[in-house]
A and B are shown apart, each in its own frame.
Chain A
Amino acid sequence: MDLTLTTYLIVGATFALYIGIAIWAKAGSTNEFYVAGKGVNPIANGMATAADWMSAASFISMAGLIAFLGYDASVYLMGWTGGYVLLALLLAPYLRKFGKFTVPEFIGDRFYSKPARVIAVIALIVASVTYVIGQMKGIGVVFSRFLETSFEVGLFTGMAIVFFYAVIGGMKGITYTQIAQYCVMIFAYTVPAVFISLTITGNPLPQLGLGGTVASGGYVLETLDNILVDLGFSQYTMMKGTTLNMFFLTMSLMIGTAGLPHVIVRFFTVPRVRDARLSAGWALVFIAILYTTAPAVGAMSFYNLINTVQPGEVGAEEGNLAYENVPDWFSRWEETGLLEFEDKNNDGRIQYYNDNSEAFADTAAEYGWAGNELTVDRDIMVLANPEIAQLPNWVIALTVAGGLAAALSTAAGLLMAISSAVSHDLIKGVINPGISEKGELLAARIAMAAAILVAGYLGLNPPGFAAQVVALAFGLAASSLFPVLMLGIFSRRMNSAGAMAGMVSGLSFTLIYVFVYKGWFFVPGTNMLPDTPEYWLMGIGPQSIGAVGAIINAIVALLVSRATAPPPVHIQELVESIRVPRAS
C-alpha cells in the first residue's frame, strides 16, 4: 500500500481512539477536571506521566542529539531521568497528601500569601508557555513532512484534537488519552530500534546491542570511535565539554524536571500517598524504556549513516560513496531538506568529515577533500530510521503517529497546567473567591480553550527567542519553584517572607545571568558578554545556571526566614500533617 495512504490510516486511527476516549471520559466536576477525580491507578498514572513528560523533542530529536554529541549528550539522559528521584523522594508524596488541585495553590496556602501564589503562577505560565510552543511546532512539522499538508493545516488539526479531549475531559480526558498515546509512542520507538539493533549487532535488545559487535567483529562503540577519529572528529565516548559545566547542566535539568508544574500535578491524580510514591517509580520505568533505547538508536543510526557514505577505506578515492549510487531513502530525505549534499571537490562522491578541525585540515587536503559535503539534520536519526533499516511502510507510518502522540500528550499536559493556574489560582483564588463550582468548571473550560488558541497562535508565529527560552524553562523551574516547594515541606520554620525572597532572588539571578549572555529579554545584540565558554562565570553556561539559582534561592529563603517571625501555628500544623500519609 502507498506510504501516504498507510500513514493517513494509522494516524487517523490513533486520532479516532483519542476522540473516543474523550467522549468516554467527560469531566463532571472541578475535582475531575483538575485532578481526574483523584482516582487514577498508580501504574496508569505512571504511563500518563511518561507521555506527559516525553515531548516531541524526546521522541524526534533526542537520538540525533546523542548521535552528534556522543558522550556529552549524557547530560540530557541523566538530567531528564534523575529528576524523578528528587520528585519521588522530596515532593510527590507530600504534595499529594496536601490534596488540593494546583502547585501555586500549595505555595499560596503553605506560605499564607496571595502574592507568593501569584509569583508561582507567573513562573508556571512562563515555563509552560515556552514549552508548548515547541510542541505546536512539532505537530505542524510532522504533518507537513509526512501527510503532505501545509504546516498550518497540521497545526490546526492538532489544535482541534487537543481542544476536543482537553476541554471536554480536563485532566480526566487528558490522563486516559495520554495512556493511549504512551502505548503508541513507545511501540513506534522500540520497533525500529529492535530492527536496527538486530541488523547491526544481531542482538534484538538495543540496550545490549549497543555493547555488541558489528559485522567486522569490533564493538559498536569502539568502531564508531575509530571511524570518527579517522574523519577528524573526537571520539564518540569521550567528554568534549568541561566537567564543571556538565555537572551543573545535569543538576539544572534534574532540579528543573522535579520543579515543572505540569509533571508535579500528575501526582495529585492518584488515590493515596503511597500511590504517589509508587507512581513516580512506574513513570521512570516507562520513561527509561525510551531513554535507554535512545542511545542505541543514536549510535547505531549514526554508524549506519557514516557507513553508507564512507563504505570503504578513509582517504582512498573509492572509499566514498558515489552520489549516483545513493540509496532511495537518501534521495527522499534530500527532498525534505533534512539531508543536503554539495559536491565541493567535484569528484561526484560524498565526503563527510570534520572540516572545523585544524589538526585534520592537512590530512583532508592530502585526500583531495575540499570541505564537508553532507549536512545532516539531527531529526533524521529517528524519522528516517525505519527506511534505512528497510522496514515496511506501516512501521514508518507508526513513527509518524508516535511523533504526533508525543507532541499532543505533552501539549495537553502543559495546557492543563496553564489553564488550571488561570481558572483555579487567579480567578477562584484571587479575583473571585465566591465563584460557584459550576462557574469555576466553566471558567476552567474557557481558560483551556483560550490557552489552546494562544498556543496555536504562538506556534504559527513563534517569537524569535522561542528556541532559547525552552532551555530557560528548566532554569526557571529549578531556580524558582523547586527550592520553595522542598523547603515548604522539609523546613517547618520556613515562612512567607523567606519563600518570597528566595523565589525572587533565585529567579532574578538566573534571568540576569541568562540575559547577560543571550541579550536582555533575548533582543539580539544587547548581550553584555559573548556567549562562549571563555566568558562564562567559571565556565558555567547560561543553560546550566539554574542549579546555581536554586542554591541561591534556598540560601536566601533560609536566611530571611530565620531573621523574621516564624509561620503561624496552623501553618506549622499543616506541615506536620503533610509529613504523614494517614489523614488525622
Chain B
Amino acid sequence: MASDTQQAATAYWKENVSLLITLLIIWFIVSFGLGIILAPVLNSIQIAGYPLGFWFAQQGSIYTFIILIFTYVFKMNALDRKYDVHEQ
C-alpha cells in the first residue's frame, strides 16, 4: 500500500514537472524569442498598426504570460483531482 502511494506521488510530480517545462518553453519562446531575438526580423511584418516584434515585446508577451498562468491553474487543479491530492 505504501509503495502504491509512493508511486502515485512520483507520477503526480512527473506530470507536474512536464507541464511546467511545456509552459516555460512557451514563456521563453514568446518573450526572449519573438520579443527580443527575432524582433528585428518580425518588425518588417505589420499587424494592426504595430510592427510585430515590437508588439510582442510591449504587448503580446504580457498577454501570453497571463494565459500561461491561468492554463497552469486549470491544468494543476485537474491534476490534483486526478491523483486525489486536491484540497477541500
Note all chain B residues with C-beta closer than 8 A to A239. Answer: 39-40
In the complex, the chain A residue whose C-beta lies closest to that of B19 is A89
Docked CA distance A247–B9 (Å): 37
Asked whether A582 lies within 8 Å of B86 as measured between CB atoms, the reply is yes
Asked whether A295 lies within 8 Å of B72 as measured between CB atoms, the reply is no
A582 interface neighbour in B16, B66, B87, Cβ under 8 Å? B87
A250 interface neighbour in B17, B32, B51, B62, Cβ under 8 Å? B32
Asked whether any CB of chain A lies closer than 8 Å to the CB of B45, the reply is: no
A interface residues with partner B (beta carbon < 8 Å):
66, 71, 73-74, 77-78, 81-82, 84-85, 88-90, 93, 207-208, 210-213, 219-222, 237-239, 243, 246-247, 250-251, 272-274, 277-278, 280-281, 284-285, 288, 291-292, 295, 490, 576, 579-583
The list of the 9 closest CB pairs from A to B, nearest first, reads: A211-B49, A74-B57, A281-B69, A295-B58, A211-B48, A237-B54, A219-B49, A580-B85, A211-B50
In the complex, the chain B residue whose C-beta lies closest to that of A254 is B31
Asked whether B69 lies within 8 Å of A284 as measured between CB atoms, the reply is yes
What distance in Å separates the Cβ of A458 from its nearest Cβ neighbour in chain B? Answer: 33
User: Given A77-B57, A89-B23, A284-B69: A213 and B49 within 8 A (CB)?
Assistant: yes
Note all chain A residues with C-beta closer than 8 A to B57. Answer: 71, 74, 77-78
Asked whether A295 lies within 8 Å of B9 as measured between CB atoms, the reply is no
Asked whether B87 lies within 8 Å of A581 as measured between CB atoms, the reply is yes
Asked whether B87 lies within 8 Å of A85 as measured between CB atoms, the reply is no
Docked CA distance A430–B32 (Å): 42
Note all chain A residues with C-beta closer than 8 A to B87. Answer: 272-274, 581-583
Asked whether A89 lies within 8 Å of B85 as measured between CB atoms, the reply is no
Note all chain B residues with C-beta closer than 8 A to A288. Answer: 62-63, 65-66
A210 interface neighbour in B13, B24, B49, Cβ under 8 Å? B49
What distance in Å separates the Cβ of B62 from its nearest Cβ neighbour in chain A? Answer: 5
Asked whether B20 lies within 8 Å of A90 as measured between CB atoms, the reply is yes
Note all chain A residues with C-beta closer than 8 A to B62. Answer: 77-78, 81, 288, 291-292
Note all chain A residues with C-beta closer than 8 A to B35. Answer: 74, 78
Docked CA distance A272–B24 (Å): 24
Of the A-B pairs whose beta carbons lie under 8 Å apart in the complex, a sample of 26, sorted by A's number, is A74-B57, A77-B62, A78-B31, A84-B65, A85-B27, A85-B65, A89-B72, A93-B76, A210-B50, A210-B59, A211-B49, A221-B51, A222-B49, A246-B36, A247-B36, A250-B36, A274-B80, A274-B86, A281-B69, A284-B65, A284-B66, A284-B69, A295-B58, A580-B9, A581-B86, A582-B80
B37 interface neighbour in A247, A291, A295, Cβ under 8 Å? A247
User: Between A and B, how many residue pairs show CB distances below 8 Å?
Assistant: 137
Note all chain A residues with C-beta closer than 8 A to B31. Answer: 78, 82, 250
Asked whether B65 lies within 8 Å of A581 as measured between CB atoms, the reply is no
User: Given A81-B62, A246-B36, A292-B59: A221 and B68 within 8 A (CB)?
Assistant: no
For chain B, the count of residues having a C-beta within 8 Å of the partner chain is 46
Best-buried of A74, A88, A246, A278 by chain B (most CB within 10 Å): A74
Best-buried of A210, A221, A237, A284 by chain B (most CB within 10 Å): A237
Asked whether any CB of chain A lies closer than 8 Å to the CB of B7, the reply is: no
Note all chain B residues with C-beta closer than 8 A to A89. Answer: 20, 23-24, 69, 72
Contact residues of B between 41 and 88, Cβ < 8 Å to A: 43, 46-51, 53-55, 57-59, 61-63, 65-66, 68-70, 72-73, 76-77, 80, 85-88
Asked whether A88 lies within 8 Å of B72 as measured between CB atoms, the reply is yes
Note all chain B residues with C-beta closer than 8 A to A85. Answer: 23-24, 27, 65, 68-69
In the complex, the chain B residue whose C-beta lies closest to that of A492 is B13
Contact residues of B between 15 and 35, Cβ < 8 Å to A: 16-17, 20, 23-24, 27, 31-32, 35
Note all chain B residues with C-beta closer than 8 A to A82. Answer: 27, 31, 61, 65
What distance in Å separates the Cβ of A582 from its nearest Cβ neighbour in chain B? Answer: 5
User: Given A250-B32, A272-B87, A288-B63: A237 and B43 within 8 A (CB)?
Assistant: yes
What distance in Å separates the Cβ of B70 from its nearest Cβ neighbour in chain A? Answer: 5
Docked CA distance A71–B58 (Å): 8
What distance in Å separates the Cβ of B57 from its nearest Cβ neighbour in chain A? Answer: 3
